[in-house]
Structure formats: C-alpha cells, structure tokens
Chain A
Amino acid sequence: MKHSTPTTTVAPVLSVEGLSRDFNIPVPFLRRLVPGRPRPVFRAVTDVSFEIPRGQTYALVGESGSGKSTIARMVVGLTRPTAGVVRIAGHDLFAPDARDTRQAMRRRIQMVFQDPQASLNPRWRVEAIVGEPIRAFGLASGRALAARVAGHLETVGLSAADARKYPHEFSGGQRQRIAIARALASEPEFIVCDEPTSALDVSVQAQVLNLLRTLQSDLGLTYLFISHDLAVVRHMAQRVGVLQRGILVEEADTKTFFAGPKAEYSQMLLSAVPKIRKGTDE
C-alpha cells in the first residue's frame, strides 16, 4: 500500500477533538418574549473526535441530517464549533489569538463541493476561477499566474485553452474538474471533498474518483471525504467514520469496516445498499 508510510513523528494533518456544534431553533416571535425559558438548541454534532494522517483519506458517511457537512464546515473554518478543537498540522484553527495562524492555514485547506453548477461563478472565465486563490494568496501574478492556471487545468485533465471558456461550456464532470483545479490552485495539503461525485453520472464519477486518487498519490494530499455512498467510500478511503444524528457511532479501517461493521446502524446502512448481482448466477 502506497499510503501506509509511518506517521508517528509527524502531527496528523487534521485532528478533531470533542467537536460539537449547536444550532438555535427558531421560536415564534411572541414566545421568544416569555422570560425564563432557555433558548432551544439543536445539537447537530456531538463530541466527535478523529484524526487523519498525512496522505490518507478519511471518509465520513451518514444519511441526510447526520452532521457530515457541519463537520466539513468546521474543519475548514467556515463554522465555529460550540465545543472542541480542530487542529490542522498541530495548529488550533479556532484558538482565540489564532487570527494569523487561521489566515496561514486557509491556504493549506481547500474544499470541493457537491454541485459544480452552484460552486463556480457562471460569469467568470475559468482562468479567473482557478486564478483567484493564486491571486488571493499572492502566489503569482501576470504571466506566471496564467502559466500556473494552465498547469492546474492540465493536471485535472483539461487543456490550457479551456482557461478562456465559461463554466456553462463544460459538462458536469468537466465542471467538477475545474472545481478541483481551483482547490489545487493554492497548493493545499488538505482537501475536504463534500459529496464530490453525487451530482455526476456513474461513468463520469469513476473518472473524477480516479483523478482524486491520482492527485493524492502524486501530490501527497490528505482528504476528508464526505459521502452517503458506501461503495464510493469503500473505494476511496483508508478509514471510515459513521455518523448517526451527529454522533460518531463507529470508526474503523476500511478493510475491517467492510469485512463486518460493528454498530447496528452501520450494518443497516450497509444492508440497505442495493446489490448488483454481477456474475453470481452463473
């Protein structure tokens, strides 16, 4: 296995400890004025801890409302946790005096979203979309910037000439490639992939998953891979965490997990996946 290099001496790329997040539940206006009632909260994520060693993929699985995306948002610093610590390469992302670290960390964390239709600005050319992180972090400008954009486009299997086009000129799979090129543009170490292929057709999904895997081994990337599809997770991850209503009910190596999940909920999830009887009735 390529990814099993010992990581004992290095801090894990991501470590999450006792992460929780509450959301306020809206209360009808008049009842809000009644004193003495605590504000009702919904606990979306409860005491979640895990870590991801460098160069590995950790998958979070769960059904809608299980808190997968809330964790993703906290891990990249978009949502502040109610309790708990997020550490990127050993640095606390939400420490009170960590403004500078947070800024520095931003470049090293990127995200690929589910729907490339919604995550790419339709009025921007691809060169502006992919170039934005490079410009924002002051990594290059002018001709060097254009060359970097071209390089990233080629890395994800598009051509340098595509830089002049707009997102609508591409198919869904190609748009997701643009989103991946944008994520690569700030030269991150850690990418959060939030359902990166669930809006894509199967044949295109295979292309995008294979691309993510190749990039990982070429660039040494670390992924937090969020998905509801266990078959995709089996294919992508070295470690799996199962979320049920915000609680991590099971965590195991992919091999161990798929050989026989322990938690009742994981077993239910696994048995609910439709089986394609392939070559079994011969």
Chain B
Amino acid sequence: MTDLLTLTDLVVDIPHRRGTLRAIDGVSLSIARGEVLGLVGESGAGKSMIGNAVIGLLARPAHVAGGEIWLGDRRIDRLAPHQMRQLRGRRIGMIFQDPQTSLNPLMRIGDQLVETIRLHRPMPAASARTEAIRLLDEVGIPAPEERMAYWPHQFSGGQRQRIVIALALAGEPELIIADEPTTALDVSVQAQIIRLLKRLCADRGVAVMLITHDMGVIAETADRVCVLYAGRVAETGPVTEVLSRPRHPYTVGLMDAIPSLDPARGEPGVATLRQIPGAMPSIAARPSGCAFHPRCASATPDCARVRPDPRPAGRSEVACPVCAPTHEDAAS
C-alpha cells in the first residue's frame, strides 16, 4: 500500500508569555489510500490539533515546530498560506463536528455547493449545478434537485451533516479529515452517517482521518486506530487487534471504562465499571517520562524517567516498555 499522508515526528508548540507549551510531542503516523485511520483520545490528547496541523489551520500562536507532514510526494508543513489554500478543499476535504456552524446560514445549499465546486474545479455554472445535484444524491439527500434551493435551517442535523460531506467531496479530495463528525448527532443518525462515510471511502478510494473520542464509532468505521495520550501515540494498530487485545495500559483502562451492552460485562444495573484513577494531565503539567505513569498500575521507576517510543508488539505498535512486547497478554 502506498501511504497518502505521512506524519513523522510531528511537534506542535504553543508559545506563551512564560515559555512554550508542547501540545503534540513527536507523533508519527500514516494513512494509505482508501483507508480509514481513527485518531482516538480524550480531551487534551491533541487529536484535533493533529488534524488542524495537517490542513494548516492551527489557531495562532500554535504552530508546527518540528517534524514533517507529507501528502503523497509533497511536503505540506512548510507551504505558504496561498499554496495551502489551494490544497485545502481540493486535495484535503474537511468535515467538522457541528454542521450547524460549518454551513453558511444565509446561502442556499445549492449555491454553496456550486461555489465550492467551481472554486476547485473550474467549469461552467450549468455543469457545476449538475455536479452539485449528483453530489447531494450521492450523500443520500432525497429529491436533490428540489433541495438545491433550500436553506440550511430547512434540513435536520443529520441531513446537514450529509450536505457538509457533499461539500467536502466537492473538490474531489484524496484525503478527508473528519473531526468528530457524528458527535452532535443522535445515535440512529450517527449510524447512518458512519455507513455513508464508509461507503464513500470504498467507492471513491478516499483516505479518511477520523478524529473522535468514541471507541464505538472507531470500531464501526476505522481500519486502523491510533490511540493518543497527552500529545503522544500510546498505541496504534489494526482496529480489531487494538480493540480486542489492547496492550498499552491506557488503552486497556480506556476499553474497560466504556459501559458496554455486552452481556459478558456483568448483569445490567449491578456491575461496577472499572475506572482509571486521576485525569489526563493538562498540557502545562505533563509528567516526565511516560506521561501516563502517574495513573498506571504497572509503572516501574523507569517509567518516570524514560519517554517510551512506539515499538512493534503483535500486529500493533505500543509505546510501553513494560507491557510490550514481552507480556503479550497484559490485556486479558
């Protein structure tokens, strides 16, 4: 497989009055064409910041302070703003959490689509209109021709998110960054949007970076998953592997903490959830060594000193010298 997007040792810094905060601290990952990579982590893990770094939309003063971002054979972390603008929407599409705020409320959705299509792919207005109708149809909006004249507020939340996806597809991108695309939606609508994203990915061979805090969404959508903790990769690997045999103590704890519908996880209304003590450290007070060590049950004195790098363990890569690769079944 050829990798479409490659990040190597990405570092994102946020300078402030008394020094610099390191939000992303040496993250390496890659996404192949047609692959869905799930980026999971809790608030403060840095998952959205990685997405924003890739599309060059880091909010100042945050900036890429080290490492490289490659899209195909082009390095994109050093591009001038106008070059980045040509890439954004064209080669990289974006879907954000809240469809309410990513659509222009004062523009009919047909006009928004036509404008976006013609911006990225110069063509006569009439063909752009045909293309817009085709896109609406593709994302499952019924009676697309008629709906072209509707305003965003005339659609439900799920339909609005479908329109946002159509907009993201307008430039025929190779990569889509979807930042919490289903978080604002009800479960039944969420399931529809997940199915749609998967279908588009398969039909068009688009690579998707799916940023979410929801392991369930990852399990249903992603091919590979990358678990982030405090600005570093804790564990990365095929979804089935990471979810069924988590190795990093953080992933293990996270999986145990998720309330489940699985009857094997105890009687309804009775079983106690397993919990990870403490909370994700704030970016200003990250512990030395492995950032997870103060919350980790299997931490050794070394963990406070040595910052672990991901190393192969089974079909995954795990950033924990204690749990990988020797104790393969630390999870069970």
Residues 209-245 of B at the A interface (beta carbon under 8 Å): 213-217, 219-220, 240, 243-245
Contact B188 A269 (CB under 8 A): yes
Q: A206-B257, A280-B244 are in contact. Are A274 and B214 (CB under 8 A)?
A: yes
**Interface pair A231/B260, CB less than 8 Å apart:** yes
Please tell me which one of the listed residues A210, A255, A269 contacts residue B273 in the complex, with CB atoms under 8 A apart.
A210
B:281-332 near A, CB below 8 Å:
282, 332
Q: Is the pair A213, B272 in contact by a Cβ cutoff of 8 Å?
A: yes
**Taking the complex as formed, is A160 at the interface, i.e. its CB lies under 8 A from any CB of chain B?**
no
Q: How far apart sit A146 and B99, CA to CA, in the bound complex (Å)?
A: 46
Q: Mark B74-94, 1 if CB is under 8 A from A, else 0.
A: 000000000000000000000
Identify the interface centre among A230, A236, A272: most chain B CB within 10 Å of its CB: A272
- Check A282 against B217 for contact (C-beta < 8 Å): no
A237 within 8 A of B: yes
A282, B275: Cα distance in complex, Å:
25
B-facing residues in A221-246 (Cβ within 8 Å): 228-232, 234-238
Which A residues touch B279, using CB under 8 A? 171, 173-174, 203-204
| A215 CB–B CB distance under 8 Å | no
The answer to whether A63 and B244 have CB atoms under 8 Å apart is no
B contact residues around A236 at 8 Å (CB) = 269
Interface hits, B253-274 → A, CB 8 Å:
253-263, 267-274
- The 8 Å CB contact of A254, one of B42, B187, B194, B269, is B269
Q: Establish whether residues A279 and B244, one from each chain, have CB atoms under 8 Å apart when the complex forms.
A: yes
Q: A1-B270, A203-B253 are in contact. Are A235 and B187 (CB under 8 A)?
A: no
Partner of B243, one of A1, A213, A255, A277: A277
Task: Specify the chain B residue showing the minimal Cβ separation from A231.
Answer: B259
Which residues does chain A contribute within 8 Å of B202, judged by CB atoms?
A: none
B-side contacts of A273, CB under 8 Å: 187, 216, 261
* Residues from chain B with Cβ under 8 Å of A269 in the complex: 187-188
Q: Which A155-197 residues have C-beta < 8 A from chain B?
A: 171-174
CB of B43 closer than 8 Å to a CB of A: yes
On chain B, the residues within 8 Å of A232 by CB distance are: 259
Asked if residues B273 and A276 are in contact (CB atoms below 8 Å), the reply is no
Give the Cβ gap from A222 to chain B, nearest Cβ, in Å: 14
Residues of B within 8 A of A209 (CB): 259, 273
Contact B269 A57 (CB under 8 A): yes
Q: A235-B268, A255-B268 are in contact. Are A278 and B261 (CB under 8 A)?
A: no
Residue with the greatest number of chain B CB neighbours at <10 A, chosen from A204, A254, A281: A204
Taking the complex as formed, is B191 at the interface, i.e. its CB lies under 8 A from any CB of chain A? yes
Chain B residues with CB below 8 A from A39, complex form: none
Asked if A247 CB lies within 8 Å of chain B CBs, one says no
A69 CB within 8 Å of chain B = no
Residue in chain B with minimal CB distance to A201: B42
B244 touches A277 (CB 8 A): yes
Please state if A235 and B269 are interface contacts (CB–CB under 8 Å). yes
Chain A, range 255-271, C-beta contacts under 8 Å to B: 255, 257-258, 268-270
Which interface residue of B240, B262, B268, B269 has the most chain A CB atoms within 10 A? B269
B186 on interface, CB distance cutoff 8 Å? yes
Q: Are A268 and B188 in contact (CB under 8 A)?
A: yes
Q: How far apart are the CA atoms of A270 and B191 in the complex, in Å?
A: 11
Asked whether B141 is an interface residue with its Cβ less than 8 Å from the other chain, the reply is no
Q: How far is B219's CA from A202's CA once the two chains are assembled, in angstroms?
A: 15
Contact at A275–B213, with CB atoms within 8 Å? Answer: no
Residues in chain B near residue A280, CB distance under 8 A = 244
Q: Is the pair A234, B261 in contact by a Cβ cutoff of 8 Å?
A: yes
Query: Nearest 6 A-B pairs (CB), nearest first?
Result: A274-B216, A201-B42, A206-B257, A254-B268, A206-B275, A231-B259
Q: Which B residues fall within an 8 A CB radius of A?
A: 42-43, 186-188, 190-191, 194, 213-217, 219-220, 240, 243-245, 253-263, 267-276, 279-280, 282, 332
Other A-B pairs beyond A201-B43, A202-B254, A274-B217, 20, CB < 8 Å: A201-B42, A201-B280, A205-B257, A206-B273, A207-B275, A209-B259, A228-B187, A234-B260, A235-B259, A237-B268, A238-B269, A258-B263, A273-B261, A274-B214, A276-B216, A276-B260, A277-B240, A278-B243, A278-B244, A279-B245
Q: Can you list 27 A-B pairs, Cβ within 8 angstroms, ordered by A?
A: A57-B269, A63-B187, A63-B188, A171-B279, A171-B282, A173-B279, A201-B42, A202-B42, A203-B253, A203-B257, A203-B280, A206-B259, A206-B275, A234-B268, A234-B269, A235-B268, A235-B269, A235-B273, A255-B268, A257-B268, A268-B188, A269-B188, A272-B188, A272-B190, A272-B191, A274-B217, A274-B219
